[in-house]
Amino acid sequence: MKKTTLCAALLLCTTTQAVLAKDGYSAVYSQCMDASGGVTSTMNECSGAEIKRQDARLNQGYKTAMAGLEPAQQGKLRDAQRAWIKYRDANCGMYYTLTGGTMDILNGAACTLRMTKERADELATLLGP
């Protein structure tokens, strides 16, 4: 089985609530990266799939937080989230173009993944454990 096919198959076997490895990323992501053989395009596919999983966590955390807040706080969270998205995109956009080399793809994706996961973690605990 080709590595890209393996990663795609692993992605199909997961749900939004994928089992998380000790680092907070999905076990599927770790398996995909381990199976990538260090191939940039395959590693980028692994990162892209994990970004989608973490983005789903972020969106669910945002919806849950919005539902649990009073209207005044909802507006503040909405403004904060919009500002955070602009910051993440600008910050990680720099990494996507930092050197002009192929590592920029991985560095930009790693930035997007890390920041999205951290924000999803933050939103998940916003209203308490």
Amino acid at 91: N
- pTM for the full predicted model: 0.80
Nearest to 16 by CA among 41, 53, 70, 68: 53
Cβ neighbours for 8, distance < 8 A, ≥ 6 positions apart: 45
To the question of domain 3-124 being in CATH 1.10.10.10, the answer is no
Annotated domain spans of the chain = 3-124
Q: How far apart are CA 35 and CA 119, in angstroms?
A: 27
35-83 pLDDT tens trace? 999 999 999 999 999 999 999 999 999 999 999 999 999 999 999 999 9
